[in-house]
Structure 1
Amino acid sequence: MAPEDVTLGYWTHINFAFAYIDPGTFEIAPMSNDVAALYQRVSALKQKQNGLEVWISVGGWSFNDPGATATTFSNLARSTSAQSAFFKSLISFLVNNNFDGVDLDWEYPVAPDRFGSPDDFVNFVSFLKNLRAAFDNAGLSHRFGISLTLPSSYWYLQGFDIAGMEPIIDWFNVMTYDLHGTWDSSVKSIGNIVQAHTNLTEINLALQLLWRNNIDPAKVNMGLGFYGRSFTLTDPSCSATGCPFSAGGNAGPCTATAGILSSVEIGDVISAGATVTLDKDAAVKIVTWGGNQWVSYDDGETMKTKLQYANSKCLGGTLVWAMDLDNGTMIGDMGKTSNFSKKVVTGDYSGLWFY
């Protein structure tokens, strides 16, 4: 999806994912050479929707994969000289590209399986304090925001001093998606059984981890997915949640990766005659087709249930991974089912939806 094709009018913020950190200089670096050209095209969308903000997300899952950048966040958090270089580079990046803030997606501090270090727990908070001070003392008229991406599992969340972080940052983005996938086969307590990647019951349990630490719900954004995790069933006659899988689902024509389908690809599968069932308690739908293919997904109906839940908990908002997995249908359905008035977008005939 080109930046110019993004469906505007519904988003308050767009996070550009991802930028990296050079492990040697600790300066901001593009994820790949062709990405840098997109930064200003994305920030230019602010000219079409008044009040829209564009932030840069730094890190991401692959940033902590084995390789040169695996310990970069840990090294940055423990070194004030590295932080000085990073802050200078980040501020320059935000100013030059007309961005409004930074989301830090460290996956994950402290966790040994993600190259974390025990001192990350304390160092991350100090790093955030220093970042906030660097922003505030930069002499700029624009206030840059800071957010953090959080996991939904206790195993990884325990590496974050969320109570110490909360006063420093603007909000937490909680990844209450990707709750399940083919990786479950390596988890002894779960195994190779099909389960939805999003589940309202599990989302509620995940957010309780925050409430136990007295985190203000207004500083929490709940994650939603414009995609589904897919599986190949071991036995086509056993397709209910909890049935065994043998592998990820067949790759889609666009995502081209086994085990995941975009909302657009799932829509095409449904249009071709797939069977759709609703798991009411989980607030998710299950699609089966082709004898042995299985995928969970959200539509307007289940998104409405999740949005109602978010409102009932007085959450600050919701976030979506990711807008380029939608063709405008999902975000439009979310707007309609929640009676959200679309904001005025330059070039639209009208800034409102009528029902």
Structure 2
Amino acid sequence: MIPCGVWARRALNEISDVYRTNQFKARIGWASSMGDSCLRRLKHTLDQPGVHIMISLSRWPVVLAPAFTASSIFAADISSLNIAVTSDWNTGHNGEITFTNTGDQPIEGWTLSYADGSTLNQAWNCQWTLESGRHIISNLSWNETVQPGATISVGFGADGPFQTDFTDAMFNGEPVGVLYNGEDDGDDGNDDGNNDDGNNDDDGNNDDGNNDDGNNDDGNNDDDGNNDDDGNNDDGNNDDQSSGCIGDADGNGTVDVDDLLLVINDWGFCTGCPGDLDDNGSVDVNDMLVVLAAWGACPDVGPGDKRIVAYYIEWGIYGRDYQPADMPLDKITHVNYAFANISDDGRIAIGDPYAAIEKSYPGDTWDQPYRGTYNQLNNVLRAEYPHIKTLISVGGWTWSGKFSDVALTDTSRQIFASSCVDFIRMYNFDGVDIDWEYPVCCGMGSNTYRPEDRENYTLLMAELREQLDMAAEEDGRDYLLTIASAGGVDKLENYELAEIAAELDWVNTMSYDFMGAWDLSLTGHHSPLYPNPDNPSPNPNVRNFYNSDGSVQPWLDAGVPPEKIVMGVPFYGRAWGGVNATDAGLFQQANMVPPGTWDDWSSGATGINDYSEIAEMIESGGYVRMWDDVSKVPWAWNPNAHGGHFISYDDPESMQYKMDYINDLGLGGAMFWEVTCDREEDLLNVIHQSLSD
């Protein structure tokens, strides 16, 4: 017979419809004859006054139906509906209705209705019907759940001029106030006086997560600011779990099967036990009901001081089969989406339309305005992880060719900035990350370069800042502006460091790709924390400043506040082949570029390996992990592969040194390139544990 804990995990994994339409209900849909004794034990545990239990040992479901509603324990609420005009013309207008869950618990399913108002002829992001003079607007499958702090927006088209006589407004059967364009109309008795437009989710941190300087991804991830923690529950006051979430007994940011099992295991008198969620000295049915009522992802309790910025690559949906939902968003604060391009007329442009807005995912409907990874990241996943901020990253190594042109004149800067504002509004991004590789020189040979790029880059950021701030005031939310900056000190001479940083929420330093197989004359570390004096490079910048510390110090020396600096780290390695075996290949000559993890016919051999693949190489034997205690980074060496295979990379030990550096200097967090390279989350776990409050 399987243990009751195993049985319960399998059974409870299928709990559904918890806290649905304000009726607390849990259905357990799995069972076998082996679970009968455990079921009887569960029934005995839950068979308490106020709980009605129906059980059939031969056929399920088991239904737990408490004689109260969830709203009697925790409130899921909205402050008001905000109805705003987004565009109008002589014969009609488009508008938007937004609301925010201002309560403590998720709203599972929603319907709003009202009488009178504008004469609608269509609606999107919702189901819309007209019944007996009342407009009925309800959720679609993908926006059914509204997490605490999350905002839902639905759009509509209407005939004639905009009307401000929406009356008798109801939300899930309860009266609710109405605001017009963010302002109370003064005569709606249901209005609570709040003029929030529903977009209150930004913490003011806008990090961007940079790309890279030698290939088209840079992978920044720095800083998490997250509310998840290391699994230590709390100090005995279990209504204040480390995740800040009632019901999260194990403190991991999600109320799930593990929390319910923890309650069962702690059953009885138990002062200070993690399962004693109501802190009354006893783990009992009340604690179990707390868990079931709070089921799901915990609400965000606000980001901490540090940022953890992840780059998500648009092309990851193909060969890598890494979809937006695969990201460990509970360990990340910001996602930089790589990349958007620049059109020939100087405007931001979608990189891959199929991936971004056309690809269908489960739950998509024919009438939603866009699908694809944009919708998954900015709408579907945001509902589950309301703390996440997303930025569209523009440019990268491959698409930086037109930055010099868009930064050149007042007019070109205004056009580009205006297009970015329109873009993030249309696709619900929280900001813009500029990854210009690079101003003045040193990117792809096909790029346009000008000596005045240095000053024009600052002017471009100033224009973006001004237009984003104006949009933020109009929209009632904060918009972020960041850049991915060069790591090499010689390239940083082409930035007005203090001036450009003043326009930004923060800077993501691309503190990697300092060495690579584009130069076969010398192997070395592509992301050392500190310089190694044994490096024989004839270039003094490479010897002394091509390292993480060397990429950060120029910003600090220019007077940039340390909290505005997010240091980039790589989740990938760079390799050389045909390497001399002296010193296990370190600082030796090579003669070939070895294969990488994701090479194909178009890329050829790249010598770029995911960290996950490198870890497997070392575990499988043949490769030896070496350590440079001066630069505080490892390398992998195999004399029998590819004529001598040298791989420079970061592992958990070197990542810990870098996180200590970030904390010791009071930097703003960490950025990483990129999230698909660390499938087991070994590196991300170090970042998250080190930078979380």
Structure-1-length-normalised TM-score: 0.86
Match of 1:26 in 2: 346
What is the CA-CA distance between 1:337 and the residue it aligns to?
5.7
What is the CA-CA distance between 1:335 and the residue it aligns to?
4.8
Deviations 1:286-307 (A, max 9, x none): 1112511111221211111110
Contact 1:255/1:261 (CA < 8 Å) preserved in 2? Answer: no
Distance 1:28 1:211 in 2: 31
SS at structure 1 position matched to 2:394: strand
Match of 2:164 in 1: none
Q: Match for 2:497 among 153, 158, 162?
A: 162
Aligned residues: 327
Distance 1:340 1:163 in 2: 28
What is the CA-CA distance between 1:237 and the residue it aligns to?
5.2
Is structure 2 residue 336 aligned with structure 1 residue 15? yes
Distance 1:207 1:339 in 2: 18
Cα root mean square deviation, aligned: 2.0
What is the CA-CA distance between 1:116 and the residue it aligns to?
1.7
Distance 2:439 2:688 in 1: 39
Opposite residue 5 of structure 1, the aligned amino acid is D
Superposed, 1:110-259 pairs within 5 Å as: 110-111=440-441, 115-138=448-471, 139-185=474-520, 192-201=521-530, 202-236=547-581, 239-252=584-597, 254-256=598-600, 257-259=605-607
Match of 2:405 in 1: 75
Which is further off, 273-282 or 309-318? 273-282
SS at structure 2 position matched to 1:184: coil
Q: 1:144 to 1:200 in 2, by over 3 A?
A: same
Is structure 2 residue 671 aligned with structure 1 residue 319? yes
Is structure 2 residue 648 aligned with structure 1 residue 296? yes
Distance 2:559 2:449 in 1: 25
Opposite residue 628 of structure 2, the aligned amino acid is D
Distance 1:218 1:238 in 2: 39
Distance 1:226 1:220 in 2: 19
Match of 2:225 in 1: none
Q: Structure 1 regions of 5+ residues with no counterpart? A: 65-69, 186-191, 342-355
Contact 2:529/2:548 (CA < 8 Å) preserved in 1? Answer: yes
Q: Match for 2:619 among 267, 271, 295?
A: 271
Deviations 1:95-136 (A, max 9, x none): 121110111111111126653211112222222211111122
Q: 1:172 to 1:339 in 2, by over 3 A?
A: closer
What is the CA-CA distance between 1:193 and the residue it aligns to?
1.3
Contact 1:284/1:302 (CA < 8 Å) preserved in 2? Answer: yes
What is the CA-CA distance between 1:331 and the residue it aligns to?
4.1
Q: Match for 2:389 among 53, 66, 73?
A: 53
Distance 1:33 1:84 in 2: 25
What is the CA-CA distance between 1:333 and the residue it aligns to?
3.3
Deviations 1:122-153 (A, max 9, x none): 22222221111112223221121101111111
Q: Which runs of 4+ in 1 moved over 4 A?
A: none
With a CA cutoff of 8 Å and minimum separation of 6, indicate the structure with the bigger relative contact order. Answer: 1
Q: Structure 2 regions of 5+ residues with no counterpart? A: 1-321, 358-372, 531-546
What is the CA-CA distance between 1:317 and the residue it aligns to?
0.6
Which of the pair is proportionally richer in helix?
Answer: 1
Contact 1:299/1:333 (CA < 8 Å) preserved in 2? Answer: no
Structure-2-length-normalised TM-score: 0.45
Q: 1:119 to 1:4 in 2, by over 3 A?
A: same
Match of 2:635 in 1: 286
